[in-house]
Structure 1
Amino acid sequence: MKLDYLQALKRVNDARGAWVLHGQEPLLEQNLLDAFRASWTNQEIERQRYEINNVGDWKNVFNALNSLSLFSNQLAIEAHGNIKPDASGLKELNNYLQHNEQNLLLIIMPKQDSNSLKSNFFKTIDANGVNVALTANYPKDRQQILAVEAEKLGIKLANDAWKWLEQHHEHNLLAAKNSLMRVSDTFPDIELIQIEHLYSCLQDQSRYTTYDLNDAVLQGNLSQSIKIYQYLIASGEPMTLVLWSISKEMRLLMQLFEQPHHADKLGIWKTKISLYQQALRRLNPNSFLTWPDLLLRIDASIKGLGHENPEHLLQQAIASLCGKPLFIN
């Protein structure tokens, strides 16, 4: 079954079997993940996360799906990566889909090309699971998605204000959502947001975005990266979105290290390939081993679990991405 983003949001609470989320829209991915995690918490469903760095990692995923803990009746597994199961993994996937009706395997992948979408893996998902393309290719789609975000904030935009917002952010949904948050905070008593409201509060506040942070860390510019990071935090950027941005770059770099000639299949824009290749030449591959644990610690600290400071941990991650760790073991 194929669903778009808004259709998928409506089915989160009843999701079972295997779902694949793939695309290049961080807002859509983060919103769906947040919705799934909230649903699992409300239903007391155990959650586990796995990073798929090689084909062998799928064995751990299917072993977990077939062995519930003593304290759980249901299990939700997040599998993050861009490596599909091999023939034996597809056999395990088919067996899971036929016999395990209670658990959920949620697979999060970057943008897929047309050949990938025709693979046996996606044919299996289309036939027996749920395939969600995280895309918003048309202005109508983007406005529908952002209208949902505006409704959450309790604001409405005039028609021409929507057009201005999209043009201002050049189809960047994540940046547009952040602008909606700013205009909501700046004009809490305005019933209908006009262009002049957007312009007055955004013209001086669009200095940096998470995309600027990504470019700075890939260039290895630690001072600029920390400067942008501190600006984002001070201006109210959610730490979850900063974490998403950093984890995406770490994941892409690790995957490119394993598959140096498949940058396009990993969803890296052609204009950015040289930037990632330069970053790989600069970085010590041994540092990659520390990244999954660091990301898990940041995620836990943002959620208030443990005693570590999420802002400090995010700075560690940024420094590591720049190839200049704050601490030396």
Structure 2
Amino acid sequence: MCRLGVHSLLRSTFSPCLFRAKICPRAPCRGGQNTPYPASLPSAFDKPNHALRLLAATRTRQTAVHAVSPATRSRCGLLRDGMRLRFVQFLSAVGRRLAPAYLLSGDEPLQMQLAVQAVRHRARESGITERRVLDVGARFDWSALSVAGATGSLFGDRLLIELRMGGNRPGKSGSKAIVDWLEGPGRDHVLLVTCGRLERSALQAAWVRAIESRGVLLQVWPIRGRELHTWIESRFQLRGLQPEPDAVEQLILRTEGNLLAAEQEIEKLSLLLGSGTVTGEMLVRSVTDNARYDPFDLVDAALSGNAAHAVSVLDHLRAEGTAPALVLWVLTDTARTLLRLGAGEQTPARRLPPARAALLHRRTTRTPARLWQCLLHRCAQAEIAVKRAPDPEKWAELLTLVLYLADPRLGAALDPGPRATAAP
């Protein structure tokens, strides 16, 4: 049917005319007003007219453009060909028509949860009252899928079959079972497959293409940068709270990368305060530190030129016990990629996520290639400290590299130069 990417936070609109007004400002819009969404998920699902609106309270980053046929657009509720599809289109597609199969892929728990709940709600509206859950483990018997497809529901003719793969992959036998299920007697039922993030090569697998050709493929991506700020603010407002800018910044600082934690903290504040203004001081007293990062988040922060945020990410990695050698490896690989891109090579960026590749290209256009050569040389020097120096010196070396990556001039100014290292 179509591939729907999730790379921008869900917008707080639902109607097609509002979507045209916000996403495609040149397209005509015949009225419509922004509609507030319910404050809690269960109460919203008790009201079908409001269910999908609640899910549209989040936005995520954009992904690649996929051309969609006119027939597919009529089935999914999409507006035009060649658009950068957002999560809100997925919700619109689910609300308009229940597809025979869905594949939801990603590592961001909250968005995955909202997407799954949207499919379940639409299935109930379509008269499917029974669902069967199959958890795929290392020794999963794939004949269970064909059995589930061959048997009907006790309460009706159709089933919602949830195939939860997590971080597992189906392999040859599983791929064949999924393809056969889609083409066999189970085609009258609805198949909902959830799994971890799929690499680009995995998207070409037979089972993925089979689901995509008959249903909907949704890729969930983490929310970053300014879009996270918008999402946090909208979630406060959904609960009748008016956050001050400092409150939003404080919550982002403590929960960035962990949307579930942010949602829980906002819900807690809603229960405590009811409604009204939320100040930064009030939030600091209420919220625990739930930020979650990995070394690639450190690279993204540095490449965006936000040195203060990059240093904060590095501090979190140190507090979480991340190995300095792993952080150095990621920084060295980034320096090597920047040097190759600065020399005119394009191959290194093809294996990277689109957002990070765009950051790398922007940095190489603004920075001379010789500075990336200096950074790579500095990474080689830092390797000695990471292997032999005391722990504080290891992180001091990594701090210099991070500042250099964020701003080569700043890093060069703070670089103490080569350090004497004791012989082994």
The TM-score with structure 2 as length reference comes to 0.42
Instruction: Work out which of the residue numbers 219, 241, 252 in structure 2 matches 1:133.
Output: 219
Decide whether aligned partners of structure 1 residues 9 and 131 sit closer, same or farther in structure 2, where only a CA change above 3 A counts: same
- The one-letter amino acid of 1:85's match is P
Deviations 1:156-203 (A, max 9, x none): 44555434322232232111111211222233231xx44x2x531442
Superposition pairs of residues 1-329 of structure 1, within 5 angstroms: 1-3=2-4, 4=6, 5-13=87-95, 14-42=97-125, 43-54=127-138, 56-81=140-165, 82-98=167-183, 102-143=188-229, 145-146=231-232, 149-150=235-236, 152-158=238-244, 161-190=247-276, 193-194=277-278, 196=279, 198-206=280-288
Matched residues in 1 for 2:98 and 2:273: separation?
Answer: 38
Matched residues in 1 for 2:135 and 2:193: separation?
Answer: 10
Decide whether aligned partners of structure 1 residues 131 and 145 sit closer, same or farther in structure 2, where only a CA change above 3 A counts: farther
Deviations 1:248-282 (A, max 9, x none): xxxxxxxxxxxxxxxxxxxxx9959xxxxxxxxxx
- The one-letter amino acid of 2:215's match is G
Partner of 1:246 in structure 2? none
- Check the 8 A contact 1:186/1:201 in 2, yes or no: no
Partner of 1:250 in structure 2? none
Decide whether aligned partners of structure 1 residues 83 and 55 sit closer, same or farther in structure 2, where only a CA change above 3 A counts: farther
- Check the 8 A contact 2:255/2:262 in 1, yes or no: yes
- The one-letter amino acid of 1:61's match is L
- Check the 8 A contact 1:24/1:134 in 2, yes or no: yes
Shift of the alpha carbon at 1:11?
Answer: 3.5
- The one-letter amino acid of 2:205's match is S
Decide whether aligned partners of structure 1 residues 75 and 17 sit closer, same or farther in structure 2, where only a CA change above 3 A counts: same
Decide whether aligned partners of structure 1 residues 106 and 186 sit closer, same or farther in structure 2, where only a CA change above 3 A counts: same
Range with greater deviation from structure 2 (35-44 or 20-29): 35-44
- The one-letter amino acid of 2:117's match is D
Shift of the alpha carbon at 1:88?
Answer: 4.8
Matched residues in 1 for 2:150 and 2:230: separation?
Answer: 39
Decide whether aligned partners of structure 1 residues 203 and 109 sit closer, same or farther in structure 2, where only a CA change above 3 A counts: same
- Check the 8 A contact 2:247/2:281 in 1, yes or no: no
Matched residues in 2 for 1:84 and 1:59: separation?
Answer: 16
Matched residues in 2 for 1:94 and 1:271: separation?
Answer: 41
Point out which structure has higher relative CO (alpha carbons under 8 A, 6+ apart): 1
Decide whether aligned partners of structure 1 residues 126 and 33 sit closer, same or farther in structure 2, where only a CA change above 3 A counts: closer
Decide whether aligned partners of structure 1 residues 148 and 74 sit closer, same or farther in structure 2, where only a CA change above 3 A counts: farther
Shift of the alpha carbon at 1:93?
Answer: 2.8
Decide whether aligned partners of structure 1 residues 156 and 120 sit closer, same or farther in structure 2, where only a CA change above 3 A counts: farther
Decide whether aligned partners of structure 1 residues 125 and 39 sit closer, same or farther in structure 2, where only a CA change above 3 A counts: closer
Of the two, which has the highest radius of gyration?
Answer: 2
Matched residues in 2 for 1:103 and 1:152: separation?
Answer: 35
- Check the 8 A contact 2:163/2:191 in 1, yes or no: yes
- Check the 8 A contact 1:182/1:201 in 2, yes or no: no
Shift of the alpha carbon at 1:65?
Answer: 1.7
Decide whether aligned partners of structure 1 residues 48 and 154 sit closer, same or farther in structure 2, where only a CA change above 3 A counts: farther
Decide whether aligned partners of structure 1 residues 101 and 140 sit closer, same or farther in structure 2, where only a CA change above 3 A counts: farther
SS at match of 1:131: strand
Shift of the alpha carbon at 1:64?
Answer: 0.5
Decide whether aligned partners of structure 1 residues 271 and 117 sit closer, same or farther in structure 2, where only a CA change above 3 A counts: farther
Partner of 1:218 in structure 2? none
RMSD after superposition:
3.4
The TM-score with structure 1 as length reference comes to 0.53
- The one-letter amino acid of 2:175's match is L
Decide whether aligned partners of structure 1 residues 150 and 74 sit closer, same or farther in structure 2, where only a CA change above 3 A counts: farther
- The one-letter amino acid of 1:31's match is L
Matched residues in 1 for 2:291 and 2:256: separation?
Answer: 15
SS at match of 1:21: strand
Decide whether aligned partners of structure 1 residues 112 and 44 sit closer, same or farther in structure 2, where only a CA change above 3 A counts: closer
- Check the 8 A contact 1:9/1:35 in 2, yes or no: yes
Matched residues in 1 for 2:232 and 2:119: separation?
Answer: 19
